[in-house]
Amino acid sequence: MQSVSVQHIIKTYGDKKQKTTALNDLSFDVAKGELFGIIGPDGAGKTSLFRILTTLLLADSGTATVEGLDVVKDYKAIRKQVGYMPGRFSLYQDLSVKENLDFFATIFNTSVEENYDLIKDIYSQIEPFKDRKAGKLSGGMKQKLALSCALIHRPTVLFLDEPTTGVDAVSRKEFWEMLKRLKEQGITILVSTPYMDEASMCDRVALVQSGSILSIDTPQQIVASFGRSMFAVRAKNMLHLLNDLKTFDAVANAYPSGIYHHVVMKNGGGADLLHQFLSSKRHAELEIVQGKPTIEDCFMQLMRN
Ligand SMILES: Nc1ncnc2c1ncn2[C@@H]1O[C@H](COP(=O)(O)OP(=O)(O)OP(=O)(O)O)[C@@H](O)[C@H]1O
């Protein structure tokens, strides 16, 4: 059964002279209880999509439903049923941790005590600081408080817009573990992120660029469908190496990735051909290893296509 359904959504900003298409005929479904990732760089359209699905923004055309409710006609019912954690910090900086949580509980006509079991796992980590002003919390603690506030009315669908942006690596990992535990309670979770490495934590992901879906599948299936030879290459002069790679006919794509350049070969191209070419360019300290494609490599390839 579907929890979220998006059909041909188009959203533009500006006027005829300066028009930006944020969402370009977007369609997809998310099943009940799924942990679904929307992965794309800044400006891909993630926030616009979340604002439409949480009834805070109207699309130009297309339809969308959340738990079978229409985002335009049934906006009041949707607001009661979903939890939304916006990308930018949404809490009241001058209120304490406890006051923020009480505030969100009150506007949903409930209490912290009534729903404590759902947020306990997350909130207990910041409860020792319950009298501290939200503005004085660390990034990871703010994120936990924002998630607790988004959960306080027991939503069945949770929308998290870039919850891990600007958060340290340990807090990011902890956050994804919390999401997995929420998923086990049957909550449908849509989470957007610009970090490609977070794709592997999702049941399915949509790779989004300029308001269009480039690919939508399980992370494993996206990587499995890469279908090209890829190598990780490095040498003493990385800039010369990249420039040389870009002149080679047998190379489909070459780009920096960590301490290596990733090189995607055109069909039929292999390590011998690459080695032969780079040796002829006399690169010092040349190293070529077989690469294992990641979601990021798939994204680069899809963007190029
Ligand atoms: N109110 C607005 N007026 C004009 N253009 C806008 C407005 N809001 C968003 N845009 C543009 O629409 C496109 C999609 O923006 P959106 O914020 O939805 O993407 P995003 O993936 O969430 O990126 P970011 O993480 O940078 O917010 C961008 O080109 C953005 O500049």
Tell me, what's the pLDDT at 189?
97
Q: Is the CB of 47 under 6 A from ligand 1?
A: yes
Average pLDDT over residues 76-101: 90
Give the SS3 label for residue 83. strand
pLDDT in tens, 202-221: 999 999 999 999 999 999 99
Q: Is the CB of 56 under 6 A from ligand 1?
A: no
* Same domain as 296, residue 207: no
Tell me, what's the pLDDT at 207?
95
**Per the structure, how many domains does the chain have?**
2
- Ligand 1 atom 16: residue of nearest CA: 45
* Same domain as 298, residue 158: no
* Same domain as 120, residue 139: yes
Query: Which is the closest atom of ligand 1 to the Cα of 208?
Result: 21
Q: Is the CB of 140 under 6 A from ligand 1?
A: no
Q: Which of 5-9, 14-18, 43-47, 112-116 has the lowest average pLDDT? A: 14-18
Other residues' Cβ atoms within 10 Å of the Cβ of residue 150: 21
* Same domain as 271, residue 199: no
* Same domain as 189, residue 235: no
Tell me, what's the pLDDT at 190?
97
What percent of the chain is predicted at pLDDT more than 70? 100
Query: What secondary structure does DSSP assign to 221-265, as a single string?
Result: HHHHT--S-EEEEE-S-HHHHHHHHHH-TTEEEEEEETTEEEEEE
* Same domain as 211, residue 98: yes
Q: Which of 35-39, 82-86, 118-122, 167-171 has the lowest average pLDDT? A: 167-171
CATH number at residue 121: 3.40.50.300
How far apart CA 273 and CA 20 sit, in angstroms, is: 43
* Same domain as 103, residue 40: yes
Residue 48 host element (H or E): helix 46-53
Tell me, what's the pLDDT at 291?
87
Q: Which residues contact 221 (CB under 8 A, 6 or more apart)?
A: none
* Same domain as 266, residue 132: no
What percent of the chain is predicted at pLDDT more than 90? 73
pLDDT in tens, 161-175: 999 887 888 888 888
Q: Is the CB of 42 under 6 A from ligand 1?
A: yes
Helices and strands of the chain, counted as H and E runs = 10, 14
Tell me, what's the pLDDT at 228?
85
Q: Is the CB of 294 under 6 A from ligand 1?
A: no
Q: Dihedral of the CA atoms 54, 187, 212, 214 (nearest 10)? A: 170
Query: Which is the closest atom of ligand 1 to the Cα of 51?
Result: 18
pLDDT in tens, 218-258: 999 999 998 888 999 999 999 999 999 999 999 999 999 98
Tell me, what's the pLDDT at 305?
74
* Same domain as 288, residue 237: yes
* Same domain as 268, residue 127: no
Cα→Cα distances 47→91, 181, 187, 280, Å: 17, 24, 20, 48
How far apart CA 302 and CA 297 sit, in angstroms, is: 9
How far apart CA 53 and CA 95 sit, in angstroms, is: 28
Structural domain boundaries enclosing 241: 226-304
pLDDT in tens, 261-293: 999 998 878 888 999 999 999 888 999 999 889
Q: Is the CB of 193 under 6 A from ligand 1?
A: no
* Residue at which a domain ends, from 193, 220, 247: 220
Q: Is the CB of 22 under 6 A from ligand 1?
A: yes
Q: Is the CB of 209 under 6 A from ligand 1?
A: no
* Residue at which a domain ends, from 220, 238, 273: 220
Compute the distance from residue 43 Cα to the ligand 1 centre, in Å.
5
Compute the distance from residue 19 Cα to the ligand 1 centre, in Å.
12
183 strand-pairing partners? none
* Same domain as 276, residue 262: yes
**ipTM for the whole predicted complex goes beyond 0.85:** yes
Average pLDDT over residues 30-59: 95
What is the pTM (predicted TM-score) of this model? 0.90
Q: Is the CB of 59 under 6 A from ligand 1?
A: no
- Ligand 1 atom 4: residue of nearest CA: 13
Average pLDDT over residues 31-39: 96
CATH number at residue 246: 3.30.70.2070
Q: Is the CB of 270 under 6 A from ligand 1?
A: no
* Residue at which a domain ends, from 220, 245, 269: 220
Backbone φ and ψ for 57, nearest 5 degrees, come out as -145, 145
* Same domain as 276, residue 142: no
Compute the distance from residue 189 Cα to the ligand 1 centre, in Å.
22
How far apart CA 87 and CA 50 sit, in angstroms, is: 10
Tell me, what's the pLDDT at 90?
78
pLDDT in tens, 111-161: 999 999 889 988 998 999 999 999 999 888 888 999 999 999 999 999 999
The answer on pLDDT for 87 being more than 90 is: no
Residue 69 host element (H or E): strand 69-70
Tell me, what's the pLDDT at 89?
67
76: confidence class by pLDDT, cuts 50, 70, 90: very high
Cα→Cα distances 17→13, 24, 234, 243, 295, Å: 11, 18, 46, 38, 36
